[in-house]
Structure 1
């Protein structure tokens, strides 16, 4: 169990520290270049493990259009949006906003998936999360004041979270029934996203990243190898050992780690940020508890219908 708990903590740390690495790199290169390098160094360990485990099959090509959709929105656009938003925000606040995909997953599931309805507990979780986001964004603060937060940065972070959150609904609707190995899906997704970003990104000036060893090391090892490739590997290890609910719970650690790192590097972390973090943390918990309650309610009629009175 020590190995499992260590993997759980590491996953939360990897996810939560991604934002400071993006912040450092944004001072030297563009958001597109950050995303390209992140995907490149994240794809490498995933591809190596996928080949070693032999999860690829020729017949998977028939699902290339689904992989391409996931690559475009859940990876290429989502990573770009979060890199761009982090460049405009303190890394700690970006990390708190980056933990909000569950909100959009819950809303989209209720709209697009008939079997997943938003119950009262999930509705309360969505409302609590929205209030937390408003507290983080502080729309009442005038531009240029000490308390002002970039509305554009918040918008980009929410756009990236929305794309990432909606991807779970897409997987549930179009890929779950196919029963492909998760490692195969994410490796296809990352590989296609790498091709897309390579075609769309202006590479001019990307070499500036090596001028700062801290930013370069953070981008390559922190954001790419560990925060993307390593995080996926840890996630699938926990998925196998603990199940989906427990593995996804590592997202609870993300905003806490991001805020602590932001405070450590000198970013302002006040009472309002802590309250917003608790609200978003609580919203994720309510969404998961509501989802589990809904799943139990759906299972009970099925269980009763299978009881025999012969």
Structure 2
């Protein structure tokens, strides 16, 4: 007992001497390297947005001078964005309607499908999940021509549903993939306790599982909304008049401040305006996004 007590009393001293030795070694180069790497990644991600903002403040004679800040900042590009008979405002409205509809419909089917795959036992559910993921890897350009022919026969060209339905087909696998991992991380005892208390399977899902899945559902909603907001290829083919064009198509068809002007500055200004709502959403709900992405990682 005496030897053991002496060993226990010397352990703090040994640890403190080791810590002091580590502190005397010098600068923690490992931590500095990590911060340098994070700073480089941040610069790599934010540099295009900064350049887009700077270019939007330049006049047509300064676009190609490669300066880090405009010599004579101007808001003419922003005025030109909203000056063409409010077509850009209509495009913003169309994008908001399309992205909202895609998000709501994809969440409804995604939550139910993910819950069935993660919590219910049935034959071939792994095959179903694999098919969901396989559709997300299918190139959209391969189905663009048959989709256009189909929607033309139905009279859906220049309508919202011609863009909403294809967007759902690409957004739904993303939502199912995120929500399946989230539902699988939930304890099975929650449903068992609800069933013992007299709830049916549907009641246990609505009253117990779904409220606890709010972070994952919220994260999925934001990712699906951003994906639908940024979609261009299908929208460019299905919308041929300003009445139904989303903002991504409207930006591609800008003509500039004057008739013979290159539209780079106007397009950059429109890109800044379109990006601002997404940045605001992410900054406001960043805690929910992080909690939703990490909730399924630890049991």
When normalised by structure 1's length, the TM-score is: 0.25
Which one scores higher on RCO, CA 8 angstroms, separation ≥ 6?
1
When normalised by structure 2's length, the TM-score is 0.26
